[in-house]
Structure 1
Amino acid sequence: MLPDGLVVRSARPVAGGSANPVWWCELDDGREVVVKVARETQPDLSEIEAEGLAALSAQGGLATPRVVTFSPRALVLEAVGTGELPPGDARFWADAGRAVARLHAVRSERFGWQRDGWLGRFRQRNTWDADGHRFFAENRILSFLDKPGAEAALDADDRAGLERVCAKLRELVPDTGASLTHGDLWRNNLIAGNAGEPVFIDPAVSYVWPEVDVAMMLFEGDVPDSFFAAYQELRPLHPDWREHARILHLREWLSMVATFGPDPERVPKIRAVIRDYA
C-alpha cells in the first residue's frame, strides 16, 4: 500500500474516510503520517489531491498538510495536530472563515480546473466554461444522474425535476463569478494544526461560485456562526445565501445517492428541493 521506502511500525484508522480508508501511521523512523488509500478505480486520486492541496496553499494561502509522497495506491501526508476538530471553538472557526474568504479572493474568468478531479468515489468534471450556471448544472448536478446508485434511487419524475431546476438555475442562484474553492468544504475537512490553527484537508478543487464552499459548511450543521461572521467581514454574502445553499447542496446529496443508492434521508431532501424550486 505505501510507496517504496516507507515502513509502518503501527497504524490506527482515522474516522471520516467514507469514500477512502484513512490511517494514522507511525513509521519505523519515528515520523507520524496520515495515509489515504486510493481504490483501484482511482489510480490518479493521490496525484490530483496532492495538486489540489498545493494549489490551496500556494495560490489561496490556506494551511494544508505537507505531502510526504504519493503513489497510485496511497497519498501520504504529514500528521498534523491530533487529526481531530475542536468542536465549538469560536476563535478556530473565525480564523477558518477569514482564511476561506481570502481563498475566494483568487479569481478566474472561467469556471473549472486544469483537469478533472474526484468527489468521493466519482470523477468531478472540471471542463473549462465561461458560463457558471451551465458549468454547475452539467458538472455538479446532471453528471450524477447516470450513476447506478442514482438510477436506483431516483425515478423519472425526479430526473425531470432536476432538469427543470437546472434550466431555472439563473433565476435561483446569482452569478458571483469564479473563485478558487476547496470544493468539499464540510466541517470534517478541517482539523486543528499543531498550534490550533485551521488546516484544510481532502479538497476537490475548482474555480466556481464561492457560495459553493460556504454552503457546504451548512451541509452537516454544527459550524458556529463565528465562521460565517468572520467570512463576511472580508467577503459579504448575498442576503439569500442560505436559501441558495439548499440548491447548491444538490451536488452533495446526489453524490451520496450515487454512491450509496436509495436512502430514506437523502432522497427526500433532493425531492424537497425539486418541489420548492423546479
Structure 2
Amino acid sequence: MIPKSIRNVLENQFDIKIESEQTVSGGSINRAHKLQTDQGALFLKWNRSAPDHFFDVEARGLKLLASVDADIRVPSVLVTQPPSPDTPGFLLIEYIREGSGSSSDSYNFGAELAKLHNTTGDHFGLAYDNFIGSLPQQNDQFDNWIPFFVEKRINPQLKMAIDSGKISQNFFGNWNRLSKKLEDLLPPTKPCLIHGDLWGGNYLFDENGTGILIDPAVYYGHPEMDLAFTKMFGGFSTSFYEGYKSVTPLEDDFSNRVPIYNLYPLLVHVNLFGGHYVSQFERIVGKY
C-alpha cells in the first residue's frame, strides 16, 4: 500500500481519487506503484530518504526532454512533492503501458535520439544540479567539454570513491595523467542535450512502438556520452545504432572512446555498489 500520507495529499490537495493500486518496479532507489484513478492510470514513486529536491529535478528533466523536437515519448508530470516530516517525497507521472518494440521501432528510436541530441545549448552543464541514480550530479556550466567532463563528472565521483576507501588515493595520479591526454582522445562538440543515464532500464517502447525515455539525469554534454552509456551492459540493438547514424553519422574511432566516456557511469557504480566495478575502472584508466 502507498503511504497514507501520500494518499491524503493526492486526494485532498490534488483531487485525485485512487481506485486501486499495484506494486511495480521503481528501480533500486524508490518504491513505486501503478495507480488506477479517476484521471486514468498513473505511476507513483516515492522515497522516504530522498533529498528535498530529488523528485523536483527529475520532473524538470522529464519536462526538458519532452520539450525538444523529437518523436520520443516522455511521461507527463502531474505532481512532484518534496518530503515533509509526515510525507515522503514523491513523483506522480503518466503511466505508459509498455509494448515490445520491433526492429524498425528500435531504428526509429535511434534516429529520434539523434534528433534530441541536435538540441544544443550555450554551455556544458545545466542551470541546476541534479542526480544520477541516488548520487548528486554537479552541473556547473563550462564553455568547453573536456574541463567539464574532468571537473564535474569524473573528479567528484573519484573523490567520493577515494574518500570512502573504495579506490586508493594513489590512483588519482593515474587518472590525472589520462586527463591530460583527453584533448587528443575526445573530439570537440557543441553542448548537446543528453539523457545522461541511458542504459537499458531507462527506455522502453509503448504499445505503438514509440520510444520512451524515463529516469533522466539530463545536462548539456557530449552526445557520445549517451551512446557510450548504451553500451555499458551489452549494448542496444544494431537497428538502434543504424537509426542513430541515419541522422548523425558517428565520428571515426567512436568505439575506442566508449571506455573513456564510461569511466563516469563506472565510478557511479563504484560508489553505489563497489565490487568488480572498481577493477573495471582501474583497468580502463591504466590502458591509456
TM-score, L = length of structure 2: 0.87
Question: Kindly tell me: are residues 8 and 151 of structure 1, through their superposed partners in 2, closer, same or farther at Cα, counting changes over 3 Å?
Answer: farther
- In the other structure, the counterpart of 1:153 is 166
2:267 to 250, 254, 265: 254
CA distance in 2, matches of 1:149, 1:92: 42
1:266 to 273, 277, 283: 277
CA distance in 2, matches of 1:102, 1:67: 22
1:85-108 deviation line (CA, Å, top 9, x unaligned)? x37x31221111011100111112
Which structure has the bigger radius of gyration? 2
CA distance in 1, matches of 2:143, 2:111: 27
Question: Kindly tell me: are residues 149 and 60 of structure 1, through their superposed partners in 2, closer, same or farther at Cα, counting changes over 3 Å?
Answer: farther
SS of 1:156's partner is coil
SS of 2:43's partner is strand
Unaligned runs of at least 5 residues, structure 1: none
Instruction: Report the CA distance between 1:46 and its aligned residue.
Output: 1.4
Equivalent residues of 1:182, 1:213 under 8 A apart: yes
CA distance in 1, matches of 2:255, 2:48: 35
- In the other structure, the counterpart of 2:243 is 230
Specify the code of the residue in structure 2 equivalent to 1:208. Answer: G
- In the other structure, the counterpart of 1:195 is 208
Equivalent residues of 1:80, 1:192 under 8 A apart: no
- In the other structure, the counterpart of 1:104 is 117
Instruction: Report the CA distance between 1:74 and its aligned residue.
Output: 0.8
CA distance in 2, matches of 1:222, 1:245: 11
- In the other structure, the counterpart of 2:25 is 14
Specify the code of the residue in structure 2 equivalent to 1:13. Answer: V
CA distance in 2, matches of 1:271, 1:191: 32
Q: Sequence identity, in percent?
A: 26
- In the other structure, the counterpart of 1:75 is 91
Specify the code of the residue in structure 1 equivalent to 2:96. Answer: V
Equivalent residues of 2:29, 2:47 under 8 A apart: no
Equivalent residues of 2:161, 2:267 under 8 A apart: no
- In the other structure, the counterpart of 2:86 is none
Unaligned runs of at least 5 residues, structure 2: 83-88
TM-score, L = length of structure 1: 0.90
Equivalent residues of 2:161, 2:270 under 8 A apart: no
- In the other structure, the counterpart of 2:286 is 275
Q: Once superposed, what is the RMSD of the aligned Cα atoms? A: 2.0
Specify the code of the residue in structure 2 equivalent to 1:253. Answer: L
1:55 to 23, 44, 64: 64
CA distance in 2, matches of 1:267, 1:156: 13
Question: Kindly tell me: are residues 30 and 50 of structure 1, through their superposed partners in 2, closer, same or farther at Cα, counting changes over 3 Å?
Answer: closer
Instruction: Report the CA distance between 1:149 and its aligned residue.
Output: 7.8
Equivalent residues of 2:266, 2:277 under 8 A apart: yes
Specify the code of the residue in structure 1 equivalent to 2:151. Answer: E
Instruction: Report the CA distance between 1:60 and its aligned residue.
Output: 4.4
Equivalent residues of 2:44, 2:91 under 8 A apart: yes
CA distance in 2, matches of 1:60, 1:184: 20
Equivalent residues of 1:145, 1:151 under 8 A apart: no
1:176-202 deviation line (CA, Å, top 9, x unaligned)? 221011111112111111312111111
SS of 2:271's partner is helix
Instruction: Report the CA distance between 1:8 and its aligned residue.
Output: 6.2
Equivalent residues of 2:161, 2:167 under 8 A apart: no
- In the other structure, the counterpart of 2:10 is 4
Alignment coverage as a number of residue pairs: 270
Question: Kindly tell me: are residues 153 and 60 of structure 1, through their superposed partners in 2, closer, same or farther at Cα, counting changes over 3 Å?
Answer: farther
Specify the code of the residue in structure 2 equivalent to 1:18. Answer: S
CA distance in 2, matches of 1:79, 1:150: 40
